[in-house]
Amino acid sequence: MPLFSAKFLARSDTALSTSEHISTGLSRREFGLAAAAALAMPTALQAHQTPKITSKGTYDITVDRVRIDTGDFRTKGVGYNNSPFPTVLRFKEGEEVTINVKNNLNETTSIHWHGLILPFTQDGVPGISFNGIPPGETFTYRFPITQAGTYWFHSHSGFQEPDGAYGAIVIEPRGGERVRADRDYVVQLADKHPHPGNRIMRNLKRMPDYYNRSQRTLQTLIKDSRADSLQAALQERGMWGRMRMMPTDIEDVQGFTALINGQSTSQNWTGLFRAGEKVRLRFINASAMTYFDMRIPGLKMTVVQADGNDVKPVEVDELRIAVAETYDVIVQPRENKAYSIIAESVGRTGMVRGTLAPREGMAGAVPTMRPKPLLTMADMGGMMGGMGMEGHVMQNMTGMNHANMTDMKKTDMDGMDHSNMEGMDHSNMAGMNDSNMAGMDHSNMAGMDHSNMGGMSGPSSVDPTYVNGSGLIPKAYNGGKFLSYADLTAARPRYKYRKPSRTIELRLTGNMERYIWSINDVKYSDAEPIVLNYGERVRMRFINETMMAHPMHLHGMWSLVDMGKGSRNPIKHTVNVNPAMTVDMDVEVDEPGQWAFHCHLSYHADAGMFRKVVVRGRPA
């Protein structure tokens, strides 16, 4: 992967000369870096990685079958411009772009410009925005660049994206970056699997734990029995069995090779620096299914941007990047040594190391992967209304008397039958520890009085991390600071704050045993569109009733995560909803047309966690 990405896409095989830096929009210093990087690349890579020239504002992309070599395995995939490495598009805020996409595949393709605000006809989703790009044909996208920041693009056809059809977008803001840096690198993550996407989906449908290589064995039963008694261990396994889940069901797909900019740990993507320089790293998670925990041992990371929008700088030691999210961080190495960029999967089943170094040929240390986490009964709370737990759903709880439940803990309720709790009164639940009850199915709790449920976390103004007691609560490297949504504050308001006019409740549901994923228990093929009215502000309330995190992505409009900060709430295009949690996001409905709205885990979206959103009306 080049150390500095090309400004324009290929139209000729001519490398940049010293007189061409002006036409590419690169500064002399940037041009020098790009030229040095091109010269430093192996000859075999130069043909498809050398910066190329087109006329200003016009970009050409071909969609091709490519051979992908991860260092661990080789496989066929899909790429852009005949390259197995992700293409980087660099635009300028205010630019009007024309992008010609030629389909060299023998199947329909598409490109979705993830996070870009544009007319819906240019959004690139077959069946919603347009019909797709047939084999052998060229489709021309035209739209204005009305924003700045770090974004990405990918196919929205079949499983071409997990097969390699993704790239990065960097948009230079008018007046330059709010936080300046001496070096600027894209760090695009992926989870390349030796199996193609359609085969993975077929295997998951046949056996949902097909790719789970972390299943518990007789040895773990013996270990747990010694620690907790045989009866307790068997009881715990029985509970998981009734849910048709396992505590290792953190990642649907394992056995992948993690990549940075198309390169594995052994291939060692490297970004150069001089001691004392500020380096901007643009993290993009283009994975099909994998969340990554990212750190650079020995360096603090200052987060300055989330999903393309500037945030007030916050210094962290580690951050978790959900699928489809982007984060820009600033680091400042002060020693002339190699630093490791570590991206470790949340389930600790895959890891990639890239390197920041003062010169080529250096490699950062490769640490041992940290212990694998396990889901807990706290995470189970979100499962109570989904995935085969019919006998444990809290149903028909009308009027139940809770008057004497003060200070009751969830652990005291294990094994209780909640199926017929009529007459329940919630008027005096102050002090009840219900941190582990988040996400329970309350859909049939008509008449309940929640007026005095002291201590229960609501969906607003709280940090949507993980429910207390979760096996997935992040613990930062060396006990340092781990980024959360609560740390994100918009650097400047995008909209004047106003209360939403209505709330749309979206329960994230599924059945792991059948590998069905849905919204409000309805998969996409059976669902009616979500209808919004132009000009309104709508609250989307996600209630995650599953034991997996879901990165929810609304096309075409910004999502403001409710962190109780009013107009300074973080502005995102992808909102992560963790197991057993409720998260509110507000949407300023300011783009007419019809849009896709879905979980960005590729196989969850394909299995049904997807909706069409129709915006009625338009500007006067």
- Compute, in degrees rounded to 10, the torsion defined by CA atoms 421, 427, 430, 432: 0
Quick one: pLDDT at residue 481? 93
Which pLDDT band holds residue 5 (cuts at 50, 70, 90)? very low
- What token pair was written down for 132? 């797709």
User: What residue has token string 């390259």?
Assistant: 83
Q: What is the CATH number assigned to the segment(s) 21-179?
A: 2.60.40.420
Share of the chain above pLDDT 90, in %: 62
- Compute, in degrees rounded to 10, the torsion defined by CA atoms 196, 198, 204, 210: -20
Quick one: pLDDT at residue 498? 94
* Of the ranges 23-32, 206-215, 425-434, 562-571, the best mean pLDDT one: 562-571
Pairing, β 279-285 against β 183-192: parallel
Quick one: pLDDT at residue 51? 30
Q: What pLDDT digit, counting tens, does each position of 468-523 carry?
A: 778 888 888 888 999 999 999 999 999 999 999 999 999 999 987 788 999 999 99
With a cut of 70, say whether residue 25 has pLDDT above it. Answer: no
Quick one: pLDDT at residue 375? 78
CA distance 233 to 246: 13
With a cut of 50, say whether residue 398 has pLDDT above it. Answer: no
CA distance 614 to 620: 18
With a cut of 90, say whether residue 368 has pLDDT above it. Answer: yes
CB atoms within 10 A of CB 73: 12
What average pLDDT does the segment 265-274 reach? 98
What does pLDDT average to over the chain?
79
More confident residue, 282 or 37: 282
Name the CA radius of gyration of the chain, rounded.
25
With a cut of 70, say whether residue 230 has pLDDT above it. Answer: no
Residues in the chain: 620
Quick one: pLDDT at residue 238? 63
Quick one: pLDDT at residue 223? 63
Edge to edge, what strands does the sheet with 166-172 contain?
88-92, 166-172, 149-154, 112-114
Superfamily (CATH H level) for 502-616: Cupredoxins -  blue copper proteins (2.60.40.420)
**Segments of the chain assigned to CATH 2.60.40.420:** 21-179, 180-214+250-366, 502-616
Quick one: pLDDT at residue 244? 54
CA distance 254 to 288: 11
| CATH T-level assignment (fold) for domain 180-214+250-366 | Immunoglobulin-like (2.60.40)
More confident residue, 34 or 258: 258
